[in-house]
């Protein structure tokens, strides 16, 4: 209850975005390989930002 209004850190926001992109890339891997590769590349860029923090 006390963490209800706690703001997320920049690292938490980026990690959520990373997981979302990797899930999308996995779903697209069966139907459209090119889009899947693009999503994976975006996710890798976000992971680099996370590591920089």
- Asked if residue 2 is part of any domain, the answer here is no
- pLDDT per position as a tens digit, 18-50: 999 999 999 999 999 999 999 999 999 999 998
Q: Distance between alpha carbon 39 and the CA centroid of its chain, in Å?
A: 9
Please give the tally of structural domains in the chain: 1
Asked if residue 30 is part of any domain, the answer here is yes
CA 45 to the chain's CA centroid:
9
Q: Is the pTM of this model over 0.85?
A: no
CA 38 – CA 49 distance, rounded (Å): 17
Residue 16 domain-assigned (yes or no): yes
Residue 30 belongs to what domain range? 10-52
Contacts of 36 (CB under 8 A, 6+ apart): 25, 26, 28, 29
Q: What is the DSSP string of 14-26?
A: HHHHHHHHHHHHH
Q: Is residue 18 part of a domain?
A: yes
Residue 3 resides in a domain: no
């Amino acid at each position: 209850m006390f963490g209800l209004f706690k703001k997320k850190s920049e690292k938490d926001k980026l990690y959520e975005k990373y997981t979302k992109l990797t899930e999308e890339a996995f779903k697209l891997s069966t139907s459209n390989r090119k889009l899947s590769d693009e999503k994976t590349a975006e996710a890798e860029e976000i992971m680099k930002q996370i590591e920089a923090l």
